[in-house]
Structure 1
């Protein structure tokens, strides 16, 4: 009885071994959901962040709504996503995208609105267009902020996956945790939690490695102040 409520490491390993097919399938599903949701979320976040930062009117009109939606705990929206989009993997991916959207969105706006005045003066002297300023100067000056948002989104995407799977299903590790709680299978529950932690740490490290390598390799090449054509 004690093992059912306070499982030992051996009991957890035994559960992982006995139900390995279930855990492998669940882990694969969760990984796919996280990757898809993350890519969609950060892409929209960065692009929309640039658009908002580059438009003063758009920024002033949208900031109150942004602050309002960001201040509300994201978990509250999970049931709404199931109402709007139904149950299944597609809803989980959309919800992860929502979770992953805000960090790069906010950090991109912050980075783009903190461009040094010297670069604006340089752009005026060389006759650079707005697009040339964005492509040659601003995006590289904002890169530290953007990369921070990308790393934060990597953590948020895993949290979003678990919450979404609790509500919308999808067959991932979150679904296993929910069903294990209902049936008091704490060995499977802890096994799924351990796998989620491994996935979360691994995904964050991969994103950090890729982002840092890209930043180190390209930051010096991007801000070409000698020519804008």
Structure 2
């Protein structure tokens, strides 16, 4: 066996060992869930795993469409939050006057409870219009014969839901960008002065790279906050996505379907989080994550 094959085998074994605690925690959660359900023995109060699976599978085609819709919005919200957070963070970290003027306003606005603002974001885009970047046919059309291509059509768009998700998620990236860029060591400051670097050359070659570990770490928080923001907007002020399915399940007193939808959200969130962490490790220098 070659050295490359040995290395791949070692990496696979290491990956499996690192995932074993997660799998064990998931199995323990399922056992506790089923145990509590059997003690209560009433699916209208606490749905069992079998009843949850039955109710979820009965509407799996709808769930697949709505979960794709939600996580399409999550991806847009995450990208918006990251881009806006980094750009604003760089500008505010470097321009003292802008920092003094804007920081109190941003902190004050962010202190308002997020669910209060969700209807406002949705209304603003209803008055204007969604910014559709492109559309695609979701996987539901290929997985389920009962779903047509038109029903599975998904849009990558900036709308009230994605804007609110970006608002909820942008603050960690914004703050950590400022913090990281202001932590540049004195020796690099002196080196820039000796080399005659301008302010923006210092940003380009020194400050941004010093702040990159902070930015990369904060993006993992932004993943979770973007998911929360999108689902809260769907739950409160929208009639789309998987968040609205929870509202429907609540109105129909269908606890099994509600449990199933929550499980799907948990699984989708875990997959998206791990995807972002893997992408950060690939595209950023070693040690940034």
Instruction: Assess same fold via TM > 0.5.
Output: yes
Q: Runs ≥4 in structure 1, deviation > 3 angstroms?
A: 216-219
Structure 1: gaps of 5 or more residues: 220-229
- Size of the alignment, in residue pairs? 219
Partner Cα distance (1:163, 1:17) in 2: 24
1:46 deviates by 0.5
Partner Cα distance (1:139, 1:55) in 2: 14
1:131 deviates by 2.2
Q: Give 2:64's aligned residue.
A: 24
Residues 93 and 170 of structure 1: CA distance in aligned 2, closer, same or farther (over 3 Å): farther
Within the candidate set 49, 55, 65, 2:89 is matched to: 49
Structure 2: gaps of 5 or more residues: 1-40, 131-156
More strand by share: 2
Q: Give 1:223's aligned residue.
A: none
Larger radius of gyration: 2
Within the candidate set 262, 272, 279, 1:210 is matched to: 279
1:213 deviates by 2.9
SS for the counterpart of 1:4 is: coil
**Are 1:101 and 2:141 counterparts?**
no
Within the candidate set 108, 131, 138, 2:207 is matched to: 138
User: Superposed, which structure 2 residues align to 1:93-132 within 5 Å?
Assistant: 93-132=162-201
Q: Give 1:86's aligned residue.
A: 126
Structure with greater contact order relative to length (CA < 8 Å, sep ≥ 6) = 1
1:74 deviates by 1.5
Instruction: Give the TM-score, by structure 1 length.
Output: 0.89
User: Superposed, which structure 2 residues align to 1:42-81 within 5 Å?
Assistant: 42-81=82-121
Instruction: Give the TM-score, by structure 2 length.
Output: 0.72
Q: Give 1:195's aligned residue.
A: 264
1:152 deviates by 0.7
1:217 deviates by 4.4
